[in-house]
Amino acid sequence: MKNPFLGTGVALVTPFNEDKTIDFKALVKLTEYQIDNGVNFLVVQGTTGESPVLSYDEKMAVLKCVMETNNGRLKIVYGVGGNDTLSVGETLKRLPAGVDGILSVSPYYNKPSQRGIVEHFKYVASCTDLPIILYNVPGRTGSNMTPETTLELAEVPNIVAVKEASGNMEQIMEIVMKRPEGFGVLSGDDAIVVPLISVGVDGVISVVANAFPKKFSTMITEALQGNFGVAKKLHYDLLPSTHQFFAEGNPGGVKISLNEQNLMKPILRPPLYPVSDRLEEQIRIETQRVLRS
């Protein structure tokens, strides 16, 4: 199975009301904002969507809302991962029709061996016919998925790509160099996606694109077409916001920018906590600068 997820994927945030319930009106606005401004696919209920603090029913409601709003216009990737292999498999078996792919994080907290990670994903892949994007994010999981592990899993027919958020350029380049034909490599780090595309990466699953979908997706398109002069200019235009969005945790920063654009309230569910007043002011000022530039 060839990777169908290229270019700019956006890891959608989950908007909340003051009482911490899901703000579905804002979710519709956010989804339309992405579709209208050139992103290539939507990622629902990744970590940026605060998936650890949503119930199963809430996750399904978010997915249904995005699917109905999207109405088949873009591909939708749904996040299904965890550190209980059998439970992940059961969730996959219950997915509604209309999902185009799965993003599945390497098991966290348990700290399995590399062989344990391989067997986890082989079982997960056996529970669905959908294409699966592996997600390697050692800063969250506590363990790194090595290039050897990723390349072994790339031979599983419906494992089609990896979202690499290790930040290790040499590791990512090794995967790009040795991957089988049709296997995708996506950046999980907004700040380094342009240099990664220059060495063969196929795109990104982005946080920053929530706030600046047109500018960010243009940057990715230009880089993929080899127009690195244009891409570099956009990269440096967006870099201050990228740093700000992650300075005190994700998605607290990007929600401030989205609030500045009147797309949603900047509400988080605990244990996430709002960004400091100083950072909030900086994000609002920088958001206005980016929108004007």
Question: Residue 57: what are its φ and ψ, rounded to 5°?
Answer: -65, -40
**Selected catalytic residue, list 135, 178, 233, 273:** 135
CA distances from 200 to 43, 59, 186 (A): 22, 33, 10
Q: Which residue do the tokens 């999207």 mark?
A: 70
Q: Would you state the structure tokens that stand for residue 204, as one six-digit string?
A: 């990104």
Position of tokens 């007043």?
277
Per DSSP, what are the bridge partners of residue 287?
A: none
What are the angstrom distances between the C-alpha of 181 and each of 78, 103, 127, 131, 200? Answer: 24, 20, 24, 15, 12
- Token duo for residue 133: 């994007």
Backbone angles phi, psi at 8, to 5 degrees: -100, 110
214 assigned to active site? no
- Strands (E) located in 106-252: 132-136, 159-164, 184-187, 203-206
Residue at token pair 């920018």:
257
Q: Does residue 135 have an active-site annotation?
A: yes
Active-site entry in 75, 163, 215, 255: 163
Residue with tokens 């995708």: 184
User: To 5 degrees, how large is the angle CA 181–CA 165–CA 170?
Assistant: 65
CA distance 237 to 211: 13
Instruction: For the chain, count helices (H), then strands (E).
Output: 12, 8
Q: Closest Cα partner for 183 from 207, 144, 152?
A: 152
Q: Hey, which residues are catalytic here?
A: 135, 163
